[in-house]
Amino acid sequence: MKILFAASEAVPFVKTGGLADVCGALPKYLRKLGHDVRLVLPRYWAINREQYNLKSVISPLSVQMGNCNVWCEVLEGAVDEVPVYFIEHENFFGRAGIYDDGRWEYGDNAERFGFFARACIELCRNLNFQPDIIHSHDWQVALIPAYLKIWHLHDPFFEKTASVFTIHNIAYQGVFHSWFYPFLGLGHENFVEPKFENYQCVNFMKGAIFYADCVSTVSPSYANEILSEPGGNGLSQYLGRRREDLVGILNGVDYDNWNPETDRYTPEYYSANDFSGKAICKRRLQQEFLLEVKGKIPVIGVVSRLTDQKGFQVLAAIIKWIVRNMVVQFVFLGSGEKWMEDFYGGLPAKFPGRIGAWIGYDTRKAHLIEAGSDFFLMPSLFEPCGLNQIYSLKYGTLPIVRETGGLKDTVEQYSETLGTGTGFRFQILDPMSIYYTIGWAVSTYYDRPQHFMAMRKEAMQQNFNWIDSAKKYETLYHKALDRRASWQ
């Protein structure tokens, strides 16, 4: 099949979250299955033309919006033999930030990403690339399924092109003031409650749910959670109408980048058969984050956005009692809400040698935390899939997670009777649930070391490779093609 991936971010070019990991990895594995896959991204200011050897392939490209034509340039590069096209428009994407300026979302995001969605479609025609599937990801490209049905239903070039829309996080839907609607060119007849209208605003994701041939999300449990409230964030009834076309496919992991046996960011390699390298990684982690260097004290790692979604406002209420009452260390890496940055960034001064923190993101530090920690904490309010808990499994770093979304699908609960499992789960997001679950993990480390080591080995044997997920997407694409044919 010919498949066009449309997304707002993808590694290695630009990343703010797990969306970038998925869109950077899945095309590569679909290509290994024999498909002609191409990726389209905006050319943000941060994506350096020389660094990635980007060449101009279309200049100019005319993109018709609702009431005007917008002109842009198209650059081409590649990653892992996947062709990557970049839509360059200085006014829309020539900015330091991707979605915001560091404090506020850009006021013209509706125009920026509405234009990008149209440009992805026009790019296909100009390249004479006739896709069987256009796979769009999250609200930033959610208008593509609608444009295909509204503008191109009987267009000979796109008459057999099906659309798949993937929801990576339903909390971010792309809701904008209705004054942007004329520029988007979706037609007044579509500004109605079942399609785009949302309390007199335009909702990009809502329209994609209506118009996409198939809708997917990034774990089976999350697919179930968004069919009711509050998991659906107001869209559950519209997803319920598409229940037969909704599927949850668990994200895979690119083990070429996340593997303790080959990780170029860590000071030593290790495996499930030889953990000596993990002890070296732990010592380096403690040294780098100014923790007391002790091999026999458990380290709990955190690599995350510091937001309410991730549950760190709840952890904040109890962490001082954890550190005072348990012999344990914490390492934090992340950024997010200002008060959380200040709170977690200030903890090392209050608990020297017990807590380390780095506010921001650093790839090498993230790998070191995965390799050097004994446990990895993810107390999420909701988690569509989550990737760090899967990375942690591979590194023998046992996850401590709330039982939601992909966390539930990937972490097997510890059985104190059998000594089996791959992590520790709790159901209710409140301070005491976090406290007692961390206490359970820490007591297992000290009091049942044979269980801890057996779990560590079991965790490292789990396999969430992208090939299995890619095959499930193949099946979804065929279903989408059947749905598209029914629109004729």
Q: Residue ranges for the binding site for ADP-alpha-D-glucose? A: 15
**Distance from the Cα of residue 381 to its chain's centroid:** 15
For 398-454, give the secondary structure using H, E and C.
Answer: EEEEECCHHHHHHCCECECCCCECCEEEECCCCHHHHHHHHHHHHHHHHHCHHHHHH
d(CA 230, CA 109): 26
Contacts of 216 (CB under 8 A, 6+ apart): 164, 165, 166, 167, 223, 246, 247, 248, 249, 473, 476
Q: E strands within 304-379?
A: 329-334, 355-359, 375-378
- DSSP code of 164? E
Quick one: residue 274, left, alpha or beta (phi over 0 = left, psi -120 to 50 = alpha)? beta
Scanning the structure block, which residue is given the tokens 């033999």?
81
Asked whether the beta carbons of 394 and 253 are under 8 A apart, the reply is yes
Asked whether the beta carbons of 208 and 12 are under 8 A apart, the reply is no
Contacts of 457 (CB under 8 A, 6+ apart): 272, 396
Asked whether the beta carbons of 459 and 393 are under 8 A apart, the reply is yes
Going by C-alpha positions, the residue among 246, 240, 244, 98 that lies closest to residue 172 is 98
Amino acid at 312: F
Tell me the H-state helices in 2-76: 18-32
Cα atoms in the Cβ-side hemisphere of radius 13 Å centred on 184: 32
Asked whether the beta carbons of 426 and 212 are under 8 A apart, the reply is no
Amino acid at 22: V
Contacts of 253 (CB under 8 A, 6+ apart): 25, 387, 390, 391, 394, 464, 465, 466
What residues form the annotated binding site? 15
Going by C-alpha positions, the residue among 187, 205, 166, 438 that lies closest to residue 300 is 438
In DSSP terms, which residues pair with 203 in a beta bridge?
175
For helices 18-32 and 466-485, what crossing angle results, to 10°?
80
d(CA 165, CA 246): 10
d(CA 208, CA 245): 12
Going by C-alpha positions, the residue among 91, 58, 89 that lies closest to residue 74 is 58
Contacts of 475 (CB under 8 A, 6+ apart): none
| Total Cβ atoms within 10 A of residue 116 | 25
